[in-house]
Amino acid sequence: MRMTILMALVGAAVGAGIGFPGVASADPPPPPPPPPLNLNALTPVKPSDFAMQNGEYYAFAVPGDIACAISRRSGNYGCSGPLPAAPDAANAVTGAQQGPPTFMNDNRPLFVFDGLPNRLLPGSRISFRNVTCGTDGTVTMCGNSFDGAGFVLSPGGSHVLDVNNPLLLNTGEGRNPYAN
């Protein structure tokens, strides 16, 4: 009889979810990064309107008073300033004609201008060689069309877009059909 009562109590406790420690669940995964901009949907600007330092750079300011530039010599590109929600509180990000960019901390700006360059207006983009940068007024994105790498600057989380990101032509094969 006692065994029957004990089994009934244990069964009731298990059924009610009390009396036994539960398995701790892990924290939910972090939210996915904000979606990148569709740079091709933004209005192109005339690069010569953004030429600085004797035409060596196409330089522009984006939201947050961040200075960005594309080198006309190398095609390298980047931004420096108070980057929003950047990894390790980075204050600069640089990229090249191919390959993923890098976030970093530097005690000096990447570009030295007399002031902020012309502002890239929301809904616009600037391109040189295979690099395009654009902003919607909140999110700024730069990337190269060679392998799809680039970066996103966003209050919701700044991050690198890896090589062969899904912004490229989706062939279903998960790679850029134009790169080896």
Query: How many CA atoms lie within 13 Å of 166's alpha carbon, on the beta-carbon side?
Result: 4
Is 106 part of a structural domain of the chain?
Answer: yes
pTM for this entry: 0.73
| Residue at 65 is within a domain | yes
Residue 32 lies inside a defined structural domain of this protein: no
Q: Which domain holds residue 132?
A: 43-161
Position 133 scores a pLDDT of 97
Beta-strand pair 131-135/124-128: antiparallel
More reliable by pLDDT, 115 or 117: 117
22 in a structural domain: no
SS (H, E, C) 13-69: HHHHCCCCCCCCCCCCCCCCCCCCCCHHHCEECCHHHHEECCCCEEEEEECCCEEEE
Amino acid in position 32: P
Residue 18 resides in a domain: no
Residue pair 156/34 in contact by the 8 Å Cβ criterion: yes
Asked if residue 21 belongs to a domain, the reply is: no
**Average pLDDT, whole number, for the chain?**
80
Q: How many domains in the chain?
A: 1
Task: Say how far apart CA 77 and CA 143 lie, in whole Å.
Answer: 9
- 178 located within any domain: no
